[in-house]
Structures are given as structure tokens and as C-alpha cells.
Structure 1
Amino acid sequence: MRRLLSLLITVFALAALPALAAKPAKTATAVFAGGCFWCMEHDMQGVPGVLKVESGYTGGHVNNPTYRDVTSERSGHYEAVRVTYDPAKLDYGFLLYRYWKLVDPTDDGGQFCDRGPSYRPAIFVSSPQQRAIAETSRTEAARRLKTGRMVTPVLDLKTFWPAEAYHRDYAKRNALNYQAYRLGCGRDLRLKQVWGG
């Protein structure tokens, strides 16, 4: 009887393993605007602990906005990315540190060669904890600037609207066009001026 009971426990334990293994790890999200979402998506994807980066729109008043709505400047939306990450491997503070190195936080008229309200940098927060960390990070980043003054805001996140499919993973799918755009836009040169290095 004891042997049968032991066998049944082992069978039930083995049967439960796939369900336990399939259970997703706890994840967290962060939303950042930093000019062209192709560049933000590309540069955030390589961070260890980042699980997914999605291009999209947020901060405006139009539901289900399209790229045309956003670039027309009538929607109030920013081009942004939603970063899904594993908080056991990566914390929000490090993502913020990475974010600052990807933007010119002294320019509220757009970013690099992309001009207009939809290309402004901003951090969108979804909790009081995120706000506190983001505000502290903003203060620290302002001290590290080599030129200009901090103008990038920390804003409350409302709805994040995913961008159209043709914008997603643009840098991976169109590597040559993306590199030509990035070089022509002067993004990396300006980042060296702002942050040094």
C-alpha cells in the first residue's frame, strides 16, 4: 500500500511539472517616448532581462490612433515603446538609466532629425512607485548632462496603443534602411554631445 501511494504521488508530481514550467514568470512594463520608435525599440531590445519591446502611441486623446493621426499632430500622442521585462533580472531604475542614454532630454521640440510633438521625449509612469523612481532618475540624469538643461517630463500613463504591424521590428526587418536613417538623422553624434563619450 505504501509503495502504491508513493507511486501515485510521483505520478501526480510528474503530471504537474509541465503546468508549473508553463506558468509565466512575473513581468513588469515601462513606457518611454524618445523620438523615432524604431530607434527606441532597437536600442531597448538588447538589454538583458528585456522580454519584449513594442512600438506604439500614448499620451494623446485619440482612441486607436494610426501613424497618420499621430504625425498629423492632432492626436496629442507621442511615438513610444512599451518595454516588458523580467523584474527578477532587471529593475526599472536600470531601464531608466538606459533610456536617458538613448535620448536628448534637452530637446522638447522632437528628437534629432524628427521634429514635432509626436517625437518629444517623455517617461510614462503607471504607479506612484514608478513615478518616484523616474523623478529621482530624472534629477540624476540632469546632473550628468554635458550640454543644455533637462526638459523631458515624467507623465502619467493612460492607454498604450500598439503601432501598425509595419512599424514593429523595423530595424530587424529593414536593417540597411534603418542604419541609413539613423546615420542620416545624426542620432548617435548628438547623443555623444549630450552625454559625452
Structure 2
Amino acid sequence: MTDKLKKATFAGGCFWCMVKPFDQWDGIYGVVSGYTGGHTANPTYEDVKSGATGHYESVEITYDPDVITYKEILTIYWRQIDPTDDGGQFHDRGDSYRTAIFYHDDAQKELAEQSRQSIEDSGKFKDPIVTKILPASTFYPAEDQHQDYYKKNAEHYQKDRAASGRDEYIEKTWGEQV
């Protein structure tokens, strides 16, 4: 089975809020919070938060493509973010909170580009889509306290997520309960 597993990597603002939406699907075998896309090796949370590393807060997803497709994962991703905001996501501001899809192969790149174009063509957003599609690079797992934060620190996670405005945005934009 491990031969079939693939990786998908996304930046969607605070990585705490990006784990649970993926973690709950069949075929997802792991969601790791971490950092990617920058120029500093082995960055810490404080390094990335400072904005000096070039890294995005990201999640790396391990999935079985026979159970959940990359296209389905992309749909989940787009429904977690504001793809028109190039200054961060919701109440988290700065370069480390920008959105990006990091593709691991040409097929992922093509599907990511198609999905971005579909979002752009949908008419759902009046502003341009600014989510970048970039080649995957070294992914650095975040410190242990950031892994599965929604499970380990449920009360703080719920308060932070509620204060962020993310859930209201998702419901307004997609008409879905989160």
C-alpha cells in the first residue's frame, strides 16, 4: 500500500486551520503542519513567523489516490481559503500566511492549473485569483506542538478559528457549514 501513497502540499494561511479539513476524509493517511517554499533550512515557527525565511505555513498530506483523488483534494483546498487575498489569510497577515499549491509532479501541476482556472471562470470571485502554483520543495515539519493542533488544543483551536473569520467566509462563499 505504501507504494501507492502520494503527497499533496498546500499553503492556506495558518496551518492549524488547514489540518482538520483534510484529516477527516477517507484515503488521507496523514496531514503534517510545516514550512515550505522558502530559503532557510530547518526553520522554526518563530523564524517563519518573522517573515525572514520566505517559507509558507503549509500542510503536507499523504493520501491514497485510489481512495481520494488529487482533484478531490484540490476541491477541499479551494474551499478553505480566500484565493483573492495576497496579504495572508483572514486575521493572519504576512507572507508566511499566503496561499499556494505546491505540486509534486506534472500531473498535479496540470490539475492545479485547471482547478485555478475553473475557480477564476466560476464568477464566484470579483477579484483576481492570486493563489500561486509552485513546484514542491523541501518540506520541514513544524514543531510537535503544532501537529494535530485541533486535537491537542481543541478549545484554543476553536477560539482562534472562530476569531479568524475563516468559517464565516467559507459559509458565505460556498454556502457550507464548517
TM range, smaller chain: over 0.9
TM-score, normalization: structure 2? 0.94
Q: Which residue of 2 aligns with 1:71?
A: 49
Partner-residue secondary structure (3-state), 2:168: helix
The alignment status of 1:148 with 2:116, answered yes or no, reads no
**Matches of 1:24 and 1:157 in 2, distance apart?**
20
Per the alignment, in what secondary structure is the counterpart of residue 90 of structure 1? coil
Of 149, 153, 157 in structure 2, the residue corresponding to residue 174 of structure 1 is 153
The Cα shift of 1:191 comes to 2.1
Task: Kindly state the Cα deviation for residue 24 of structure 1 after the two structures are TM-superposed.
Answer: 3.6
Cα distance in 2 for partners of 1:179, 1:38 equals: 10
Structure-1 residue corresponding to 2:24: 46
Answer yes or no: is the 8 Å Cα contact 1:37–1:81 preserved in 2. Answer: yes
Hey, what does 1:135 align to over in structure 2? 113
Cα distance in structure 1, aligned partners of 2:144 and 2:137 = 22
Are residue 189 (structure 1) and residue 163 (structure 2) matched?
no
Change (3 A) 1:131 1:178: same
Name 2:65's counterpart in structure 1.
87
CA contact (8 A) 1:25 1:86 kept: no
Matched residue, 1:30: 8
Query: Is the radius of gyration larger for structure 1 or structure 2?
Result: 1
Distance 2:86 2:172 in 1: 17
Deviation, structure 1 residue 196: 4.3
Structure 1 range deviating more: 53-62 or 42-51: 42-51
Runs of 5+ unmatched residues, structure 2: none
Contact 1:146 1:193 in 2 (8 A): no
Report the 3-state secondary structure (helix = DSSP H, G, I; strand = E; otherwise coil) of the residue aligned with 1:188: helix
Most deviating of 183-192 and 144-153? 144-153
Which deviates further from its counterpart, 74-83 or 40-49? 40-49
CA distance in 2, matches of 1:146, 1:69: 33
Separation in 2 of the partners of 1:113 and 1:59? Answer: 21
- Percent identity reads 49
Counterpart residue number, 1:114: 92
Mapped partners of 1:195, 1:53: distance in 2: 23
Unaligned stretches of 5+ in structure 1?
1-22
The structure with higher relative contact order (CA 8 Å, sep 6+) is 2
RMSD, aligned α-carbons: 1.3
